[in-house]
């Protein structure tokens, strides 16, 4: 269809095209799973509040939908990396407290101040944010970030006193309000490592220095998902939870289920083709795989343009209740599974069958963790990289009756490490 013809089609036809695209291939996001996970973290973190981290389009799940579900379930804050991501949430009508922490000289601090977006400050941003506050005639809301050991963003402890002094000067002039002090952990997903203790000690020192400088913050925050689960002493006033909101485990030795979390994303499609082939049939570019006997090949219409890692050969795809490893190279649009010897009738029947790349893992179905293992990466990357070529669809958009707070608390504590 040409672009002109596409522009001519009516709303009904467009809806039916969108519906068939979703039926063909989709990332289905269960918003009740998101709400469940957030309720777990609210219970675990209490009395600290929860910031749902919805950067990178909510790790691929859809920032606006996840943000609304997370707020429904008790998250008090939202967090993103970029001001542009925060502005998109404000444009969708979301007015919850919202922090953006990663900037460049081209970041739109004016828009952030105008939209009441909190801005993370490592040092150099302070003057630019104050200039924006002057322009907007409105005090900026800032969270001062200290580098406690991660070596990325944040002010070094050596420069911290100076940053505190500058920020307090500006606060005294009514140009900003120091809302928070924060930092980020490097190895909380490996709870046995000593560096988390060292980072927490530096963070406590930074807080003490801030108090000495007269800073009176609303929130001090350093914990991510793994720290929230494994280090109650890292909770302070607020925890910033990303991965856990999506129901995924940050720990190598623990599944989502063991942590009481529900994975929210299922990537599914339909088998495009299913055909009998002889022994020795080569599969996909490079012919790196050959059938060891007469067999049946299933063609899965998902490839690296959809976000499947090209290196992930061997990752599982579930058809008819069985997990089959992907064989041969993963291509831009497609990948292949070897279904073994089937009758021609059985093969024909499987054409159009549902194929699940990963989901919540119930009934031993494939998970984002399985794909992370196949691709030598982590589950963060697997869900985040599912591209916009795969339409998102949402289930359970409307909240169910909330569970009793006591029940949620007991379940959450049982799931925590």
Ligand X SMILES: Cc1ncc(COP(=O)(O)O)c(C=O)c1O
Q: Are 372 and 378 spatial neighbours (Cβ–Cβ below 8 Å)?
A: yes
CA 288: distance to chain centroid?
Answer: 33
Q: Please state the closest distance from residue 29 (CB atom) to ligand X, in A.
A: 17
Alpha carbon distance, N-terminus to C-terminus of the chain: 54
Q: Which is nearer to ligand X, 244 or 328 (CB)?
A: 244
Residue 207 interacts with ligand X (CB under 6 A): yes or no: no
Residue 284 interacts with ligand X (CB under 6 A): yes or no: no
Q: Which is nearer to ligand X, 229 or 350 (CB)?
A: 229
Name residues whose C-beta falls within 8 Å of residue 416's C-beta, 6 or more positions apart in sequence: 44, 229, 230, 259, 260
Q: Please state the closest distance from residue 82 (CB atom) to ligand X, in A.
A: 11
Judged by CB under 6 A, the residue of 37, 171, 217, 225 near ligand X is 225
Restricting to residues 146-205, name those near ligand X by CB under 6 A.
184
Q: Please state the closest distance from residue 57 (CB atom) to ligand X, in A.
A: 13
- Please report, for residues 247, 252, 306, the alpha-carbon distance to residue 71 in angstroms, rounded to integers and kept in the order given: 16, 28, 29
Options 156-164, 201-209, 235-243, 336-344: segment touching ligand X (CB under 6 A): 235-243
Residue 243 interacts with ligand X (CB under 6 A): yes or no: yes
Q: Which is nearer to ligand X, 62 or 328 (CB)?
A: 62
Q: Please state the closest distance from residue 250 (CB atom) to ligand X, in A.
A: 5
Going by the DSSP 8-state scheme, the letter that residue 146 receives in this structure is B
Residue 250 interacts with ligand X (CB under 6 A): yes or no: yes
* CA 105/CA 118 separation, integer angstroms: 17
Judged by CB under 6 A, the residue of 37, 217, 224, 234 near ligand X is 224
Q: Please state the closest distance from residue 79 (CB atom) to ligand X, in A.
A: 6
Options 22-30, 106-114, 240-248, 341-349: segment touching ligand X (CB under 6 A): 240-248
Residue 69 interacts with ligand X (CB under 6 A): yes or no: no
* CA 415/CA 407 separation, integer angstroms: 13
Marked catalytic residue, from 3, 246, 285, 304: 285
Residue 60 interacts with ligand X (CB under 6 A): yes or no: no
Q: Is 152 one of the annotated binding-site residues?
A: yes
What is the secondary structure of 353-400 as a DSSP string? -EEEEE-S-GGG---HHHHHHHHTS-HHHHHHT--TTS-EEEE--S--
Residue 45 interacts with ligand X (CB under 6 A): yes or no: no
* CA 119/CA 104 separation, integer angstroms: 12
Residue 220 interacts with ligand X (CB under 6 A): yes or no: no
* CA 218/CA 339 separation, integer angstroms: 57
Going by the DSSP 8-state scheme, the letter that residue 81 receives in this structure is S
Number of CB atoms found within 10 A of residue 24's CB: 14
Beta-bridge mates of residue 323: 318
Q: Please state the closest distance from residue 103 (CB atom) to ligand X, in A.
A: 13
Residue 242 interacts with ligand X (CB under 6 A): yes or no: yes
Q: Please state the closest distance from residue 184 (CB atom) to ligand X, in A.
A: 4
Options 30-38, 165-173, 237-245, 311-319: segment touching ligand X (CB under 6 A): 237-245
**For residue 68, what are its two tokens?**
């609304």
Q: Interface mask (CB under 6 A) for ligand X, residues 91-130, using x and -?
A: ----------x-----------------------------
* H or E element that contains 197: helix 195-212
Q: Are 325 and 354 spatial neighbours (Cβ–Cβ below 8 Å)?
A: no
Judged by CB under 6 A, the residue of 241, 308, 327, 330 near ligand X is 241
Helix (H, G, I), strand (E, B) or coil at 153: coil
Residue 371 interacts with ligand X (CB under 6 A): yes or no: no
Residue 296 interacts with ligand X (CB under 6 A): yes or no: no
* 380 catalytically annotated: no
Q: Which is nearer to ligand X, 238 or 297 (CB)?
A: 238
* 55 catalytically annotated: yes
Going by the DSSP 8-state scheme, the letter that residue 96 receives in this structure is S
Marked catalytic residue, from 55, 59, 289, 324: 55
Q: Are 181 and 217 spatial neighbours (Cβ–Cβ below 8 Å)?
A: yes
Q: Which is nearer to ligand X, 249 or 295 (CB)?
A: 249
Tokens 């190598």 -> residue: 252
Name residues whose C-beta falls within 8 Å of residue 406's C-beta, 6 or more positions apart in sequence: none
**Rounded (10°) CA dihedral 382, 386, 391, 396:** 30
Helix, strand, coil distribution of the chain in percent, nearest 5: 40, 20, 40
Number of residues that bind ligand X (CB under 6 A): 11
Q: Which residues are catalytic?
A: 55, 285
Q: Which residues bind ligand X (CB under 6 A)?
A: 53, 101, 184, 224-225, 240-244, 250
Binding-site annotation, residues: 152, 332
């Amino acid at each position: 269809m040409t672009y002109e013809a596409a522009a001519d089609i009516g709303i009904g036809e467009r809806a039916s095209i969108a519906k068939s695209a979703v039926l063909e291939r989709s990332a289905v996001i269960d918003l009740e799973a998101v709400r469940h996970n957030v309720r777990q973290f609210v219970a675990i973190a209490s009395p600290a509040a929860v910031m749902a981290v919805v950067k990178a389009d909510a790790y691929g799940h859809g920032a606006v939908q996840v943000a609304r579900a997370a707020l429904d379930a008790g998250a008090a804050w939202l967090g993103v990396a970029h001001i542009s991501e925060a502005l998109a949430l404000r444009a969708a009508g979301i007015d919850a407290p919202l922090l953006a922490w990663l900037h460049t000289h081209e970041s739109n601090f004016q828009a952030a101040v105008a939209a009441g977006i909190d801005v993370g400050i490592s040092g150099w941003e302070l003057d630019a944010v104050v200039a924006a506050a002057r322009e907007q005639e409105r005090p900026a809301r800032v969270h001062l970030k200290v580098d406690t050991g991660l070596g990325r963003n944040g002010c070094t402890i050596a420069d911290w006193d100076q940053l505190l002094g500058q920020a307090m000067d500006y606060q005294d002039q009514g140009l900003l309000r120091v809302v928070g002090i924060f930092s980020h952990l490097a190895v909380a997903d490996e709870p046995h490592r000593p560096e988390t203790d060292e980072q927490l000690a530096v963070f406590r020192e930074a807080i003490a220095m801030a108090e000495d400088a007269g800073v009176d913050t609303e929130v001090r925050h350093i914990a991510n998902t793994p720290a929230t689960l494994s280090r109650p002493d890292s909770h302070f006033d607020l925890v910033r939870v990303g991965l856990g909101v999506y129901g995924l485990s940050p720990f190598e030795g623990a599944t989502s289920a063991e942590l009481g979390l529900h994975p929210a994303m299922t990537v599914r499609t339909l088998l495009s083709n299913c055909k009998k082939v002889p022994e020795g049939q080569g599969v996909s570019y490079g012919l790196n795989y050959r059938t060891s006997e007469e067999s049946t090949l299933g063609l899965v219409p998902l490839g690296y343009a959809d976000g499947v890692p090209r290196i992930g050969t061997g990752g599982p795809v579930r058809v008819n209740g069985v997990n089959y490893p992907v064989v041969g190279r993963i291509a831009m649009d497609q990948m292949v599974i070897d279904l073994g010897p089937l009758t021609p009738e059985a093969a024909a029947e499987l054409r159009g069958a549902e194929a699940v790349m990963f989901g919540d893992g119930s009934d031993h179905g494939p998970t984002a963790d399985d794909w992370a293992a196949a691709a030598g990466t982590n589950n963060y990357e697997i869900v985040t990289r599912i591209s916009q070529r795969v339409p998102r669809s949402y289930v359970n958009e409307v909240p169910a009756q909330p569970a009793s707070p006591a029940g949620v608390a007991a379940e959450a504590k049982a799931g925590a490490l």
